[in-house]
Amino acid sequence: MMLIDPSELAKWPTPNTDRELHDVLSRMEKTMRAQETPKIQRQRRLEDKVDHLLQNEDVDDDVKPKLYQEAL
């Protein structure tokens, strides 16, 4: 999950419902990701992959800390 810069929030309409909030946050995330450098994109993809593996119940608990450390 990306952190949203507060200055970016002012550029977007105020959502009235949960669905509108989800839509606005999705568009903001896409906009911010489009502005990322290749190095940041690689790091984010690696973090996403590790997050997925850490949430996967099939991965042994003793392997999870190693995966996390490799991502750092």
Q: Note the pLDDT of residue 12.
A: 72
Task: Please check whether residue 23 lies inside any domain of the structure.
Answer: no
- Please state the separation of Cα 70 from the chain's center in Å: 18
Task: Please check whether residue 55 lies inside any domain of the structure.
Answer: yes
Model confidence band, residue 3 (pLDDT cutoffs 50, 70, 90): low
Task: Please check whether residue 17 lies inside any domain of the structure.
Answer: no
The Cα–Cα gap between 13 and 56 comes to 36
Using one digit for the tens of pLDDT, what is the confidence trace for 5-48?
A: 777 777 777 778 888 888 888 888 888 888 888 888 888 888 88
Task: Please check whether residue 65 lies inside any domain of the structure.
Answer: yes
Q: Domain count of the chain?
A: 1
Please give the structure tokens belonging to residue 57: 């119940």
Task: Please check whether residue 60 lies inside any domain of the structure.
Answer: yes
Domain containing 69 equals: 37-72
